[in-house]
Amino acid sequence: MSLRNAAYIAGAFEHPTRLAPDKTTPQLHAECAAGALADAGLSLADVDGYFCATDAPGFGPISMVDYLGLKVRHTDSTEMGGCTYIQHVAHAAEAIAAGKCKVALITLAGRPRSENVMRFRPGAPESAFEQWVGLTNHTSYGMCAVRHMHEFGTTSEQLAWIKVAASHHAQHNEHAMLPKVVSVEDVLESPMIADPLHRLDCCVTTDGGGALIVVAPEIAKTLNRPMIALRGAGEATKGPSGGLGLDLTVSAAARSGPAAFAEAGVTPADIKYASIYDSFTITVLIQLEDLGFCAKGEGGKFVADGNLISGTGKLPFNTDGGGLCNNHPMFRGGITKVIEAVRQLRGEAHPAVQVPNCDLAVATGIGGSLGARHGAATVILERQS
């Protein structure tokens, strides 16, 4: 069985807030759900499948289905960190193909700027051996960057180009957290957070969220929306797994990406637009290599000189400004990656960044800690007439 054309993304909504002191997290989930349903031309009563992850407060779908007032026959609370919602699109398609639901709602929301968010997961088998190390995402991704620089000669200037490209896109996004265009020098002169990552190599922290509606083909045909098909999907996890053969220059996307391209029957050269998870600049560079947009070690050259800027570069990426400049709600950039890919495929991106005739896009992400253990999820999306 293939997931190709098994399901269509009919609704997509990114919450406009970046700071929500006056709302609850469940409320943000509900507002995102309402936004995506309105976008699809559907209502709560149409939803028969619900997907959420650990950003959803309480007892996962048990709490949220009741809070939202849903009546569903299928739930899924798969958790793979920030890329979860990309994976949820594929899992929704699997459920739809299996006849378990026809209208799947996926929500993400959180308020890391407005409330203390618990991020440590007690009881992990690695806890006693790593908690005292004081590993944060900064040093985890920093170690990947240091190793990539050591093996391939990648430079801080090259990494900075990724932020520069994102900022060129964010200037057109009225909701972007950082709408100002920055230069390579701006990135390099920003304070060092964890070697070799500067403050501007990091994504923003935002309150907010998003939602997606994934529907069966026969539902998609009845809706007055462009047909955005899932064409292929892949997922993978990776960790030190006992410490032999550690390679911090390769992510789990080296397996999720090729799996998605194989299922879709297309290659990176066919892709018109790419949503690439951008928790840090290095996250983008490693995924570009792992998905095959360039060879391993060539990512630095690939991203340099504005090659990711829409309109001038060869591979327009994260045209909403991405997590680096626009939005990274609840420390999780997966759903916004899918949302901007849907905008591009529909021709609804900002005119200044819209890719002409954008009929094939990829959305890919990393969840967890790239330098420790992480997951990856990739979807190939296609606009059909």
Partner 1 sequence: MSDRKLPAPQPNVETQEFWDAASNGVLKIKRCGDCNQAHYYPRAICPHCGSANTAWIETAGSGEIYSVSVMRRGEGAPFAVAYITLDEGPAMMTNIVADDLDGLAIGQRVELVFTPTEDGAPPVPMFTPRGG
Give the interface with partner 1 as residue ranges (CB under 8 A).
125-136, 138-140, 142-147, 150, 191-197, 240-244, 246, 248, 371-372
The dihedral formed by the CA atoms of 343, 344, 348 and 350, expressed in degrees to the nearest 10:
110
DSSP state of 323: I
Measured from the CB of residue 251, what is the shortest distance to partner 1 in angstroms? 14
The least CB distance from residue 202 to partner 1, in Å, is 11
- CB of residue 254 vs partner 1: minimum separation in angstroms? 18
- Taking the complex as a whole, how short is the minimal distance between the CB of residue 133 and partner 1, in angstroms? 6
Residue closer to partner 1 by CB (options 210, 300) is: 300
Provide, rounded to whole angstroms, the least separation between the CB of residue 364 and partner 1: 23
- Our CB check for partner 1 shows the closer of 99 and 242 to be 242
Q: Name which of 134 and 351 has its Cβ closer to partner 1.
A: 134
Distances (CA, A) of 169 to 181, 209, 350: 8, 20, 9
Q: Which is nearer to partner 1, 149 or 233 (CB)?
A: 149
- The span from the CA of 349 to the CA of 326, in Å, is 14
Give whichever of 181 and 192 is closer to partner 1, judged by the CB atom: 192
The strands making up 8-14's β-sheet, listed across from edge to edge, are 74-76, 49-51, 103-110, 208-215, 8-14, 227-238, 374-384, 360-368, 273-276
Q: Please say which residue, 194 or 335, places its beta carbon nearer to partner 1.
A: 194
Question: Residue 345 and residue 275: Cα distance in Å, rounded?
Answer: 12
Look up residue 45 and give its DSSP letter. Answer: G
Amino acid residing at 51: F
Query: For the chain, how big is the Rg over CA atoms in Å?
Result: 19
Least distance (Å) between residue 247 CB and partner 1: 10
